[in-house]
Amino acid sequence: MSVAVERPAVTTAPAIALSGVSKVHPGGVRALDDVSLTVDAGAFLAVMGPSGSGKSTLMHCAAGLDSPSTGSIRIDGQEIAGLDETRRTELRRRRIGFVFQAYNLVPSLSVADNITLPLRLAGQAPDQTWLAELVERVGLAGRLAHRPAELSGGQQQRAAVARALVARPAVVFADEPTGALDLRSAREVLALLRESVDELGQTVVLVTHYPAAAAHADRAVVMADGRVVDTLGSPTAADLAVRLVALGEG
């Protein structure tokens, strides 16, 4: 049975709001072209598109890992476009969680220390009740003293999900989180992300090539040539696959 915990405070601001965002790389390569997109708090958005469509650049800019060339980006109501790297780093530690294809766990740290690492980097003590809830949800209560090398790939990614959630961020960005996993482990990780939205009120943005993964989202946007070219509510894997084939994926 899950431990009873308080949900994060409800906010009226969108979790993410992009307005007129473009990213032009040296040489004039336009990776993003005037993208506007809003993600409500507590929503699950999937971002899809062919290779080179701009979906990873969109995530990097929206998450404060890179700066746009033009446009406005707000996370939980706070403008981040134009922040210097120090301030973007501080914002990421406080308001953003990440799950990547590579688990990015520190090999020398225990599972418990890996999960709480974002809090320690921000100089915060973990909320033990919330930590216990997360550990139970990801099914690692008996593995907290283990090192990452002693876990399966699926267990490592579940630890990464807990790490992304531990600071109660405004949004979790998941970039191809199932790409290195077998089918069963992939389903478990996607179910955890879905559960974090439905039961914890978390906002999740999933960047993926896989229609079956994107079908877990409430809404999917499809990108091509740096622009959002389609939006699907309650997406199905079949509908997404058809749109990707039409754009030349696969």
Q: Which CATH number fits the domain that encloses residue 200?
A: 3.40.50.300
Q: 101 is written with which tokens? A: 């294809």
* Structure token pair of residue 1: 């049975």
What pTM did the predictor assign?
Answer: 0.91
Phi-psi region of 95 (alpha: psi -120 to 50; beta: other; left: phi over 0): alpha
Q: Which amino acid is at 100?
A: F
Look at the block and give the residue holding tokens 């809830």: 133
Q: Which of 231, 235, 196 has the alpha carbon at shortest distance from 212? A: 235
Sheet-wide strand order for 78-79: 29-39, 16-25, 70-75, 78-79
If we measure between CA atoms, which residue out of 176, 197, 151 comes closest to residue 100?
176
The answer to whether position 15 is within a domain reads no
76 within some domain: no
Q: What is the mean predicted confidence (pLDDT) over 220-224?
A: 96
DSSP-assigned letter for residue 9: P
Tell whether 101 is covered by a domain.
yes
Distances in Å between the Cα of 180 and the Cα atoms of 85, 102, 177 are 30, 7, 8
Confidence at residue 7, expressed as pLDDT on a 0 to 100 scale: 47
Residue 132 reports pLDDT greater than 80? yes
Pairing of strands 16-25, 29-39: antiparallel
Report pLDDT digits (tens) over 186-214. 999 999 999 999 999 999 999 999 999 99
- Averaged pLDDT of the chain: 92
Contacts of 86 (CB under 8 A, 6+ apart): none
The reply to whether 102 falls in a domain is: yes
Longest dimension (CA), the chain: 56
In a domain, 239, yes or no: yes
Residue 3 located in a structural domain:
no
Residue-wise pLDDT tens digits, 2-50 = 444 444 444 568 999 999 999 999 888 999 999 999 999 999 999 999 8
Q: What stretches of 26-123 adopt beta strand conformation (E)? A: 29-39, 44-48, 70-75, 78-79, 96-100
Look up the domain containing 208 and give its range.
42-51+92-246
Q: Is residue 1 part of a domain?
A: no
Q: How many domains does the chain have?
A: 1
pLDDT for 160 equals 97
* The residue type at 156: Q
**β-strand partners of 230:** 222
Q: How confident is the model at residue 249 (pLDDT cuts 50, 70, 90)?
A: low
Partners of 46 in beta bridges: 206, 220
Q: Residue 85 domain-assigned?
A: no
